[in-house]
């Protein structure tokens, strides 16, 4: 009873804080009524995808794209004519023939009026220096100031590693997944962030299905369908398998990003571990192996692997990769065989914590010796959820609120990861940090890497 009262007070406090918060970007009511949201993604050196939702009944829309915010010399997409929104009002614009390393403003035009506006930055051809924010886990529709903090850091893109919402949908009903997206994209601060920088988004359990969900989730077809409808994503592999896993890969400068879907083909956690148990599913795992084999030309490979890779501190638990030890070893061996151990980095969410390991604890290869150094692993979470530590140990430790606030579950925590990469064409330096809601460095949560033709080393 006491716990419930404290929870209620906590909730009322949050409502009061949220309702007093001013939106970072004011949008005219008429604009928002006609075009309720817009966001971009799938950016390359010369292309991008923009998705927007227009008021039901509007039959045509187009996108104006310009290097200047005035839109005086804008180019239109589609180049000839208009795009027809789908029956739910979602319009998809495929931008092409863009110039590399260029900032573009875009605006959705309906009924002859420019409505919501956003921007994106195309990737450079050749070496590129850039900054990205990465994080996971936000209460559905959160309007916390952390999203404005991330926006103010002007990342090249925002990497969302799942738990985009906490609707825990357990029915195969697309409308429920659409509602969840609508709730998030109607958050003033989140939608402002998503208009200011492209999204790169891969789901985790709570936004794909219920807590700890796997391939047996009843809502899998609907989740897969609505992801494709709402999210501007990179081309999904294995297109013949229409509603298969949503893994993606893309290149920024000399860095390869590889994102895996750890949910929609995941075998149940309780299945016995061994060659027949998989978190990725055989098809996606083969795709990952192909990716790992073709990344020799990149200076650094960033594997966005959402759940905790390191679980040595919790043997036999159901945390992260621990119940999938056989497959983890297969992947670790493949990374080693491809010579990627010193050119790789894992970014993760899931655990509601910031945690950094410099590679001291991440080796899971068959012939790994005790204390063998592997690749860094960095967790960046939660955006706006209750703290929870998972996996480990982590060489640099963990940043997550502990004690009474955690015990009663009334105080949420807001944290994210930030990656600043500088490439002078010879040497790449990478700075990975954990930040608080104000964008300040979390104590001790900083790792530096230096990559050259010999590979990457952690720099103290």
Q: Which residues make up the interface to Fe ion (CB under 5 A)?
A: 137, 163
**Residue 192: HSE in the Cβ half-sphere, 13 Å Cα cutoff:** 21
Distances (CA, A) of 351 to 310, 344, 377, 380: 11, 21, 13, 8
Distances (CA, A) of 271 to 246, 274, 315, 403: 23, 9, 16, 34
Taking the least distance from each CB to Fe ion, the nearer of 137 and 304 is: 137
d(CA 102, CA 55): 31
CB of 427 to Fe ion, least distance (A): 36
The secondary element (H helix, E strand) that includes residue 458 is strand 455-459
Taking the least distance from each CB to Fe ion, the nearer of 95 and 137 is: 137
CB of 290 to Fe ion, least distance (A): 29
Residue nearest to Fe ion (CB): 137
Taking the least distance from each CB to Fe ion, the nearer of 36 and 139 is: 139
d(CA 162, CA 167): 12
Taking the least distance from each CB to Fe ion, the nearer of 207 and 265 is: 207
The secondary element (H helix, E strand) that includes residue 191 is helix 188-196
Taking the least distance from each CB to Fe ion, the nearer of 31 and 212 is: 212
Residue closest to 34 by CA, chosen among 113, 88, 106: 113
Residue closest to 232 by CA, chosen among 35, 43, 36: 43
Tokens 């989140």 belong to residue: 190
- 350 contacts 103 by C-beta, under 8 angstroms: no
CB of 318 to Fe ion, least distance (A): 15
CB of 137 to Fe ion, least distance (A): 3
Residue closest to 95 by CA, chosen among 34, 35, 40: 40
Taking the least distance from each CB to Fe ion, the nearer of 204 and 322 is: 204
Taking the least distance from each CB to Fe ion, the nearer of 163 and 384 is: 163
CB of 351 to Fe ion, least distance (A): 8
CB of 211 to Fe ion, least distance (A): 9
Output DSSP code: residue 343: G
Taking the least distance from each CB to Fe ion, the nearer of 45 and 305 is: 305
CB of 205 to Fe ion, least distance (A): 8
Torsion angle of C-alpha atoms 213, 260, 281, 291, degrees rounded to 10: 180
Taking the least distance from each CB to Fe ion, the nearer of 40 and 140 is: 140
- Cβ-in-10-Å burial (0-12, 13-18, 19+) of 277 comes to middle
CB of 338 to Fe ion, least distance (A): 31
**Residue 219: HSE in the Cβ half-sphere, 13 Å Cα cutoff:** 23
Output DSSP code: residue 233: -
CB of 189 to Fe ion, least distance (A): 19
The secondary element (H helix, E strand) that includes residue 289 is helix 282-293
């Amino acid at each position: 009873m006491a716990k419930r009262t404290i929870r209620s007070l906590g909730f009322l406090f949050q409502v009061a804080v949220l309702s007093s918060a001013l939106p970072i970007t004011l949008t005219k009511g008429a604009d928002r009524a006609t075009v309720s949201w817009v966001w971009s993604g799938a950016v390359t050196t010369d292309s991008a995808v923009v998705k927007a939702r227009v008021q039901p009944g509007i039959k045509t829309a187009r996108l104006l794209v310009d290097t200047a915010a005035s839109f005086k010399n804008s180019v239109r997409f589609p180049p000839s004519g208009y795009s027809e929104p789908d029956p739910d009002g979602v319009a998809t614009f495929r931008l092409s023939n863009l110039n590399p390393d260029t900032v573009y403003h875009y605006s959705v035009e309906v009924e002859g009026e420019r409505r919501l506006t956003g921007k994106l930055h195309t990737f450079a051809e050749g070496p590129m220096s850039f900054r990205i924010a990465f994080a996971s886990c936000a209460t559905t529709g959160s309007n916390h100031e952390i999203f404005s903090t991330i926006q103010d850091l002007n990342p090249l893109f925002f990497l969302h590693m799942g738990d985009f919402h906490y609707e825990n949908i357990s029915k195969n009903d697309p409308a429920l997944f659409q509602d969840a997206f609508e709730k998030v994209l109607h958050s003033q601060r989140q939608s402002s962030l998503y208009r200011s920088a492209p999204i790169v988004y891969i789901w985790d359990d709570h936004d794909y299905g219920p807590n700890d969900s796997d391939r047996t989730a009843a809502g899998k077809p609907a989740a897969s369908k609505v992801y494709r409808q709402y999210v501007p994503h990179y081309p999904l592999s294995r297109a013949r398998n229409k509603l298969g896993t949503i893994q993606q890969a893309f290149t920024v400068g000399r860095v390869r990003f590889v994102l895996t879907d750890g949910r929609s083909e995941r075998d149940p956690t309780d299945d016995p571990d061994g060659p027949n148990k998989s978190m990725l599913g055989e098809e996606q795992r083969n795709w990952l192996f192909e990716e790992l084999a073709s990344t020799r030309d990149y200076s650094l490979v960033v594997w966005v692997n959402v759940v905790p890779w390191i679980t040595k501190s919790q043997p036999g638990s159901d945390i992260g990769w621990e119940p999938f030890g056989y497959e983890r070893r297969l992947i670790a061996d493949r990374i080693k065989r491809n010579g990627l151990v010193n050119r790789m980095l894992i970014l993760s969410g899931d655990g509601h914590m910031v945690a950094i390991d410099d590679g001291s604890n991440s080796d899971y290869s068959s012939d790994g010796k005790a204390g063998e150094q592997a690749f860094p692993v960095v967790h960046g979470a939660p955006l706006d959820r209750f703290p929870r530590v998972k996996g480990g140990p982590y060489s640099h430790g963990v940043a997550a609120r502990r004690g009474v606030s955690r015990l009663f579950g009334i105080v949420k925590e807001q944290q994210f990861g930030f990656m600043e990469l500088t490439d002078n064409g010879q040497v790449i330096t990478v700075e990975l940090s954990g930040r608080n809601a104000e964008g300040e460095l979390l104590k001790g949560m900083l790792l530096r890497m230096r990559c050259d033709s010999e590979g990457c080393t952690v720099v103290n």
